[in-house]
Structure 1
Amino acid sequence: MMSYIACRIAVVITVAMLANSTAGAVTSNPDSPELALEQAAVVVDGATLFLVRSPLGFPASERAAGIAKRIEAAARDRSIDPAFVRTGTVAGMTAIFAGPARIMAVSDADAQAAETTVEAFARAAGDRVRSAIIDYRVARTPERVRHAMLLASTATLLFLVAAAISVWLTIRLRRGVEHILHPRVQTLGFQSFAIVRAEQIRAVLSGILKFLGLLVLLALTFAWMVYVLDLFPWTIGVGNALLQHVVTPLTTIGRDFLAAIPNLIFLTILYFIFRSALRIVRLFFDAVEQGKVKLQHFEPEWAMPTYKIVRLAMIAFALVIAYPYVPGSSSAAFKGVSLFLGVVFSLGSSGAISNIIAGYMMTYRRAFRVGDRVKIGEVTGDITAMRLQVSHLRTTKHEEVVIPNSQIINSSVINYTTLARKDGLLLHTSIQIGYNTPWRQVEAMLLEAASHTKGLVAPPEPFVLQTKLGDCSIIYELNVGCDDPQRMHELYSVLHRNILDVFNDYGVSIVTPAYEEDPETPKVVPREKWFSPPAMADHEDQATSPQPGQPVPSNRGAA
């Protein structure tokens, strides 16, 4: 039975390939009206006799079905002798007759499709009609029907035995696999996290075995049905249709796969070429990043971002080359899906793309590096990671802040580290002291507080600026040097503590005065208190001390 089914499948595949080749020949020259006609097969009891064409505007399938019906009618008419199937001429056209009944008229298009003459096509078609009539009658004789029933019964019995054996083997195989493999199956996971549990793996293995057993049972059922249906002339058409519904898709898949093999070979070669090229490019940029290869006006930290851009360009170029060779790329469905995915990507990735572009802009502009102390907006912290879409900061409170790169590129960035490596960073703090405290004393106390603060660097030497003469007080700004921006907050705290201690030592209150009315006496510093400790007057200060009513000279500057 299985060998019979194999033969039937071979016949169906041959007929399908013949029909496809014929269809290709029909459409090879669309400028010729004759070659533009469609073809259809004349089928009697599942056997294809010949192919016919039809005039334009009339379906060939209807003409072929009509011819088949007339052949079957002639076969059922016992008064018609198959020996009297002949060719003749009617209205100037060659026709095939079975007794007095006309079976078909042969056209020039029929002969052209068979690449022969009208007379030769008519003789060959007549012979096949004669054989079809004989076979039709023989297949319906009582002896043939009884023989078919015997074969069908035997095939049914064999099918039941084979199905029972298949089910038994499937059960035994499943039990054997469960006995051997199930104890060895373990949960797949990472540390304590289970990705796939052992029970799930066992269930999948059991499901696969059940599916294979069901597939074998379906194959046996299909073979039995086709074989039994082909035994009887009344059901042979159903058997052929069932066989075609299964074989035709498989044939199409196989044919398309064979046709796609050259393209798949090309895509495989292209993949390995571009993969090797990417590896070479990666090795080059790794050498640049490590300093083994130096490029003029190219910073080592640019190596990996540049490599990612080059890799993206190479992948895009490879996809452009590979696209025409991808199986199904020319189909409307493939183009529709590609267009849909493109629209979805363009609508949903606008923010991501802007962040990526901003990330590259920051990299090449060298706004900051990993480890720099920066202030972005209201956030101050150290850069811990620079990614394509976001940058990570760790604040002084050990908080991680993730900022989109597009937001960074559109805001001001203060980098405390860039110039601190070479010139040092100036820390500055301000206090407000009333006009009744000598400014020389205030500056001297601020400088003394700076000298007590450990961790400052020089140059520059600490200096004081009077930034504003306010309504009620003077604003003093103390500036000191620092070469470690990561300690700036700690140094600020120590500096403020020292300022408080120094001012307390000298009895100067850090209180900003506020007036509700003019004081009775002017808030001025007497001349004898201009150099109150810790301020010290040098010889030049004493020589140039102003007399009452004269302007006060000053050469101390920022002291």
Structure 2
Amino acid sequence: MYFKYVISFLLLILLTGIATVSGQIDTEVITETVTPVINPVLTAVIDTSTSTGIDKIPAETEIPLITTPSPDSNSVTAASTPSAVTDKTPVETEIPLITTPSPDSNSITPVATVITPLPTLKVTVSDKKAASVIFYKEELFSINTALGNYSPEERASIILNRLEKVLEDVSFNPEEIKVEIKDSHPCIIYKGIIIMTLSEEDGRFEGLTDKEAADKYAQKIRDTLKTYKEEHSFKAIIFGVIYSLIATLIFIFLLTMLDKILKLIYKKINSWRGSRIFDLKIQNLVLLSGDRIVEVIVKSLKIIAFVVKLIICYIYLSAVLSFFVWTRDFGSRLLSYILSGLYIIWLKFLSYLPHMFYIVFVVAVTYYIIRFISFIFVELEKGTIEFPGFYREWAKPTYMIVRFLIIALSLVIIFPYLPGYGSPAFKGISLFLGVLFSLGSTAIVSNIVAGIILIYMNAFKIGDRVKIGDVTGDITEKTLLVTRIRTPQNVDITMPNAMILANYIINYSSASQESGLILHTTVTIGYDVPWKDVHKLLIEAALATEGILKEPSPFVFQTSLDDFYVSYELNAYTNKPNSTGSIYSTIHQNIQDKFNEKGVEIMSPHYRAMRDGNQTTIPADYLSDTYTPPVFKISQEEKSSQEIDQ
């Protein structure tokens, strides 16, 4: 369980080692890569016959090249000022000798080179030809006047080189940096090393005397070098390791406590299944089960916990890096990355607030307009409010169309105030969606237009029994794109609205509740049965059928007088258009029963019969009492056996 924390501790040790090695590498290469130098070709020649109040140095002394930051980068380039010495020839001058007293005598011997971590040393030149001496990321002072043949830039560069020599002393004591008067000039000296010589002009520029300016500069140098030595000491490294260990313990403690708290939360949420967390459903439709809701909550908490752990690790890493001087800048930058990002987000959020308020205002107005329109259309659907020529069935689809138009108008108003509006990415996505919609929306648009037309045609509504083309069934769903029909065999058929609009529509339900739907069926009866009896039997069969209305009463039409029979059409009213199949079946059963009871034969098929053709087929009720059928005559003719064989 704690394996990851052990890994974190090992990473801490690795970072500490990297930081120490980085400091040593910086020490070795700092003179080449960071410290500005003057043209090494330039040397100074000692002239013992003249004196400028400055200690003498060996005849051949290299003076660093004056460098200034490039205006377009962080690189260092040679200064292009009139005081630059890149092209000067050797001059006769006296330059202070960098020496240190010998430990066993009063003589002066060169300081032995000791490799210690060195700060970034550089010279910057202002527009007024002043050179700032920047040591350990802090400006000590600025050189504004020339001294002898040395310009302010040259003096600043020599001072920085001498500070570098001072730092090489492993027994450095900042209190040994003192101000002494040599040849009437105040000098800042460390163990015989003249760091800087000041003139009256230097003090006058500071508004002080040259002695007061020297004291001020010396104190500044003492404080800066002392801070540098303290932060690069072995003691500082030990404290950094200790602080890192404490931070690691806190880091492990936070992660451990966070894991324990999360386990308790997960356990508590799982215990709420069925007690506090229920299925999300509308009537009997389960939109989201309780188990699924618990899973969503747990996954969301895991994502939040991961983000929190990531933030803790980020802060921990930044803190550990800030404990060591060599990685302090990197740690500060690491922390500033997220802080600066959050700050930029905050500024963008503040600048976006006016647009956000406008969007919220438009959304609020749109919401209440839609609510008001919803109230109007609900009352239209109930019949509380009526408009001439506006059917109740139009209320809901008309509300949906009006709501869509209002929302579309609101989006058009809001779009210019959305983040990223007008950017190339936004325009590209808009263009892509427009082309995609144009290429694939031909059929969709035609079906939507057909759906709107069908709504206001009032051709049918949900629940109606209709016949569209060859399909007969009940309307189960009606949308802007398609209409669904369920046949009597429980087969659902989805028909595009454009196809429906192109076909004829028969609605069996539109007038069934007001005047009733007429069901009709035809039977054929021979001429020998009186038509009045047939009418009576058919009407009795209709009235005996469930679903047939008593009023209006059924009626019979004689549709044709054929060669062998008469066609009788029974018409009966019903207000149950969705049950026509069962009603037809019952009517046919009742017709058979009624006709059989009365002994009437339903002679629908053709037939041939041998009978006396002289007898009339007119019913007897229409014949006179004296009517006698003609005699049926049969004659017999004898034939020989030979004729029969033939």
On the 8 A contact 1:81/1:99 being kept in 2, the answer is no
Report if the CA contact (8 A) 2:468-2:505 is conserved.
Answer: yes
* Aligned partner of 2:599 among 506, 509, 524: 506
5 Å-filtered alignment, 1:26-105, equals 72-74=36-38, 79-80=62-63, 95-96=80-81, 99-101=84-86
Which residue number in structure 2 is paired with residue 318 of structure 1?
A: 410
For residues 197-276 of structure 1, the aligned pairs below 5 Å read 198=294, 201-202=297-298, 205-206=301-302, 208-225=304-321, 228=324, 231-232=325-326, 249-276=341-368
How much has 1:257 moved relative to structure 2?
A: 2.5
Task: Give CA deviations for 1:130-183 in whole Å, capped at 9, x if unaligned.
Answer: 859667985893465643434455334323321221221221232134236623
Tell me, what secondary structure is at the counterpart of 1:196?
A: helix
Aligned positions of 1:247-396 closer than 5 A: 249-348=341-440, 350-396=442-488
Letter of the structure 2 residue corresponding to residue 176 of structure 1: I
| Aligned counterpart for 1:123 among listed residues 110, 128, 148 | 128
Q: Retained in 1: the 8 A contact 2:37–2:67?
A: no
Q: Summarize the Cα distance change of 1:147–1:387 in structure 2 as closer, same or farther, 3 Å threshold.
A: same
Structure 2 equivalent of residue 164 of structure 1: 249
Q: Does 1:421 align with 2:509?
A: no
Q: Shift of residue 296 of structure 1?
A: 2.4
Structure 1 residue 445 displacement after superposition? 1.7
Secondary structure at the counterpart of residue 453 of structure 1: helix
Evaluate the alpha carbon distance shift between residue 417 and residue 198 of structure 1 in structure 2; reply closer, same or farther with a 3 A threshold.
Answer: closer
Quote the offset at 1:457 in angstroms.
4.0
The answer for unaligned runs of 5 or more in structure 2 is 1-32, 43-60, 69-78, 88-124, 135-140, 143-155, 173-224, 281-285, 631-646
Does the 8 A contact of 2:558 with 2:566 survive in 1?
no
**Cα distance in 2, alignment partners of residues 438 and 428 from structure 1:** 22
Give the Å deviation of 1:300: 2.0
Matched letter for residue 248 of structure 2:
A
- Is 1:182 aligned with 2:267? yes
1:317 Cα shift?
0.9
Opposite residue 219 of structure 1, the aligned amino acid is I
TM-score by length of 1: 0.64
Q: C-alpha offsets along residues 320-347 of structure 1, whole Å, 9 cap, x if unaligned?
A: 1111110111111122223333444455
Judged with a 3 Å threshold, the aligned counterparts in structure 2 of structure 1 residues 210 and 248 are, in CA distance, closer, same or farther, namely closer
156-165 vs 270-279, which moves further = 156-165
SS at match of 2:81: strand
Identity within the alignment, %: 27
Residues in 1 aligned to 2:557 and 2:600: alpha-carbon distance in whole angstroms: 20
Match for residue 154 of structure 1 among 221, 239, 254:
239
CA displacement, residues 59-103 of structure 1 (integer Å, 9 cap, x when unaligned): xxxxxxxxxx99833499985489999xxxxxxxx953665149x
Q: Is the 2:485–2:494 contact (alpha carbons within 8 Å) kept by the matching residues of 1?
A: yes
Which secondary structure state, in structure 1, belongs to the residue aligned with residue 37 of structure 2?
helix
Query: 1-side partners of 2:245 and 2:34: how far apart?
Result: 40
Kindly indicate whether the alpha-carbon contact (under 8 Å) linking 1:428 and 1:480 is maintained by their aligned counterparts in 2: yes
Specify the alignment match of 2:19 in structure 1.
Answer: none
CA shift digits 1:463-486 (9 cap, x unpaired): 22325848x766543333334323
Q: Matched residues in 2 for 1:241 and 1:200: separation?
A: 37
Say which of 465, 474, 479 aligns to 2:558: 465
CA RMSD of the aligned region, Å?
4.5
User: Whole-Å Cα distance in 2 between the matches of residues 327 and 525 of structure 1?
Assistant: 103
Go from structure 1 to structure 2 and tell me whether the alpha carbon gap of 1:139 and 1:474 turns closer, same or farther (over 3 Å shift).
farther
**Post-superposition CA distance 1:517-549 (Å, at most 9, x none):** xx9889x8954x4337xxx76xxx989x9x99x
Instruction: Show CA shifts across 1:484-505 (max 9, x none).
Output: 3234333322221232234434
Cα distance in 2, alignment partners of residues 485 and 354 from structure 1: 31
Residues 481 and 287 of structure 1, relative CA distance in 2, 3 Å threshold: closer
- Give, in angstroms, the shift of residue 267 of structure 1: 0.9
Q: Residues 268 and 542 from structure 1, CA distance in 2 versus in 1: closer, same or farther, beyond 3 angstroms?
A: farther
Separation of aligned partners in 2, 1:382 and 1:139: 99
Structure 1 residues not aligned, in runs of 5+: 1-68, 86-93, 103-119, 549-559
Deviation for aligned residue 1:303 = 1.5
Partner Cα distance (2:518, 2:364) in 1: 56
Q: Answer whether contact 1:182 1:202 (CA < 8 A) is retained.
A: no
In structure 2, relative to structure 1, the CA distance for the partners of 1:542 and 1:96 (3 Å cut) is farther
Residue 461 of structure 1: how far off its partner (Å): 4.7
Aligned partners of 2:542 and 2:572 also within 8 Å = no
Does structure 1 retain, via aligned residues, the 8 Å contact 2:36–2:64? no
TM-score normalised over the length of structure 2:
0.56
Listed one character per residue, the Cα deviations across residues 217-265 of structure 1 (whole Å, up to 9, x for unaligned) are 222213443674xx45xx8886787677656544543333232222112
Amino acid at match of 1:488: T
Query: Quick check: 1:416–1:485 contact (8 Å CA) kept in 2?
Result: yes
Partner SS for 1:72: coil
Residue 151 of structure 2 corresponds to: none
Deviation of 1:386 after TM superposition, in Å, equals 3.0
Are the equivalent residues in 1 in contact too, given 2:447–2:480 (CA < 8 A)? Answer: yes
How far residue 126 of structure 1 moved from its aligned partner, in angstroms, is 4.7
Does the C-alpha gap of structure 1 residues 300 and 466 become closer, same or farther in structure 2, counting only changes over 3 Å?
closer
For these two proteins, the number of residue pairs brought into alignment is 435
Check conservation: 1:226, 1:242, Cα contact below 8 A.
no
Larger RCO (alpha carbons 8 Å, 6+ apart): 1
Counterpart contact for 1:384–1:392, Cα < 8 Å: yes
Quick check: 2:538–2:556 contact (8 Å CA) kept in 1? Answer: no
Residues 431-455 of structure 1: CA deviation (Å, up to 9, x unaligned) = 455xxx2186367425422223222
> What CA distance in whole angstroms lies between the structure 2 residues aligned with 1:75 and 1:280?
84
**Inter-partner Cα distance in structure 1 for 2:538 and 2:615:** 25
* 2: CA distance, partners of 1:508 / 1:328: 87
For 2:73, the equivalent position in structure 1 comes to: none
Distance 1:160 1:124, change over 3 A: farther
Secondary structure at the aligned position of 1:96 is classed as: coil
Change in CA separation of 1:288 and 1:542 when aligned onto 2, cut-off 3 Å? farther
Deviations 1:96-130 (A, max 9, x none): 3665149xxxxxxxxxxxxxxxxx97217755888
Aligned residue in 2 for 1:62: none
What is the alpha-carbon distance in structure 2 between the residues aligned to residue 308 and residue 255 of structure 1? 40
- In the alignment, the residues of structure 1 paired with residue 528 and residue 239 of structure 2 have an alpha-carbon distance, to the nearest angstrom, of 122
- Which string of whole-angstrom CA distances, capped at 9 and with x for unpartnered residues, describes residues 276-295 of structure 1? 11111111222222222222
Alpha-carbon distance in structure 1 between the residues aligned to 2:231 and 2:517: 104
Mapped partners of 1:243, 1:312: distance in 2: 48
The whole-number CA distance in structure 2 between the counterparts of 1:136 and 1:424 is 114
Aligned-partner Cα distance in 1 for 2:37–2:343 = 34
Q: Which residue of 2 aligns with 1:23?
A: none
